[in-house]
Amino acid sequence: MELIAKGAESNLYKDGEILIKERIKKEYRISEIDEKLRKKRTLGESKILKKLKNEKVNVPDIVKVDEQNFKIFMKFIDGNLMKDIDVENDKDKDDLTGIAKQLGRQIAKMHCLNVTHNDLTTSNIIISNGNDEENKEKKVYIIDFGLSFTSQRDEDKATDLVVLEHSLNATGFGFLFEDVITGYKEEYEKTELSQKAAQIFKRFKAVKKRVRYFEEETEKTEKIEENV
């Protein structure tokens, strides 16, 4: 078993074709509270993953859950994190428009099920290598639902999109956001919730405006502090 990633809340291990996510103990928390919290989050994440998988959203496929040891066992996804894709590579660029639209469709499917990811960044999106003998197409997977929750609020779904746009800009993929939105709207149009996308984007603009205002105020404060 190989440790492949360490995070603030959990460690990831690879054992053959299985990925194991283990929530780690926090020494600053009272043991009883820590165990209850880790168990709750392990079960909560696994429940959301199963719900999404059952509805054909591209997320990790759970093999089993060991709630006593705070572990989720999933099938390993052979691919690359979106943030690690070489945006300057011409071949990758040819694939990116389709990948972006596919990502938008996956997010829309997730939101139609009233699931908010709550950390939708390019670090939590995997592009498969397309090495499957039965399916050579590259697929987009959304991963790490440790902070996710169920919500019907347009505000929460809009916030997912604002976070994603910010992450795309920060990692050199900002030019793809319109393609993401195209895929998102196309997926909503297939459902009985076709009018919902317009409501979400109305909230998107409002959330984005608030974020921009906060960033501007923060920048002003930092400049004042520098001159003190």
Question: Which residues are catalytically annotated?
Answer: 119
Tokens of 204: 């998107």
Tokens of 211: 């974020």
- Three-class SS of 56-80: CCCCCCEEEEEHHHCEEEEECCCEE
Q: Which residues contact 37 (CB under 8 A, 6 or more apart)?
A: 29
Phi and psi angles of residue 79, each rounded to the nearest 5 degrees, phi first: -175, -165
Rounded-to-integer distance, Cα 197 and Cα 183, Å:
11
Q: Which of 148, 175, 149 is nearest to 92 (CA)?
A: 175
